A = this chain, B = another copy of it.
Amino acid sequence: MIRAVTEQRRGSPMIVLFTDFGLEGPYTGQVKAVLFRTAPGIPVVELFADAPAGRPKPAAYLLAAYGVWFPPGTVFLAVIDPGVGGPRLPVIVEAEGRWHVGPDNGLFELVMRRAESVRTWEILWRPETLSASFHGRDLFAPIVARLARGELPDHEPRAPGIGRQTDWPDDLSEIVYVDRYGNAMTGLRGNLLSNDARLVVSGCTLRRASTFSDVQPGEAFWYENSNGLAEIAVNAGRAADALRLAIGSPIAVLR
């Protein structure tokens, strides 16, 4: 699958994990063990270990927003994979110099759609031992490690139709993530919304603010978060609790 030929890469290699594996149980640890053994010395960063569990659609908007913060040369192991062990294909997606490895269930749809240049490969390599339920460890992590070392797929990329979900919108009017402070991220890019745009959730209409300290304690608002997503928050409070928001909650935009 991978040949020992080094492509000239821009940027410094770093491996970034975007999964629903959690950190405390055995899954991330085993993935990191594979990466440390196969790509020694390359830093591994856990970006999300609590991405939307088993839900590639909201995860796709989250990955697209957070991935572009990393420089070209970064290799993402992105695994939200409810169909593991079934017929879905394992893929490599290279988009503007960032490499992504994971299942073809739409998780990379927004990364591909927003990139100027995209190459896609089906992963044909299989390990000697492939468990039915943990491709993150057995199949994706070895590929990630070899890409991070500068190796390349040994066959031609496919036309980038693999793993597409062309019916998904460019921005998703839903909650895609709730963080530990109770802030609720949407699948909407903040810079595409006007300063006057209001978001309607759970019957409440929220105006935009720059950040928490711009509003009164207890007041709900939305703002463009540090990775560009419109995010619903309450100053000194928990927006998701106050407004009963969870992944998938719908949002209306008043422009």
Contact = CB atoms under 8 A, between A and B. Distances in A.
A162 B133 CA distance: 37
Contact of A226 (B82, B138, B223): B138
B82 A236 contact: yes
Interface stretch (A23-31, A105-113, A195-203, A247-255): A23-31
A53 interface: yes
Contact of A23 (B23, B70, B86): B23
Nearest to A36: B43
B66 A225 contact: no
Contacts of A36: 14, 43, 45
A84 interface: yes
B37 A12 contact: yes
Query: Main SS of the interface on chain A?
Result: loop
Interface stretch (A89-97, A152-160, A209-217): A209-217
Contacts of A181: 53-54
A86 B50 contact: no
Interface in A69-86: 69-70, 82-86
A211 B180 contact: no
Contacts of A37: 12, 14
A46 B22 CA distance: 12
A45 B49 CA distance: 15
Contacts of A236: 54, 82
A23 B43 contact: no
28 contacts: A14-B36, A16-B33, A17-B29, A21-B180, A22-B179, A24-B46, A24-B50, A25-B177, A26-B47, A26-B48, A26-B227, A27-B179, A29-B48, A30-B47, A33-B45, A33-B70, A36-B43, A53-B181, A82-B236, A84-B211, A85-B210, A86-B212, A86-B213, A132-B210, A132-B226, A133-B211, A133-B225, A137-B226
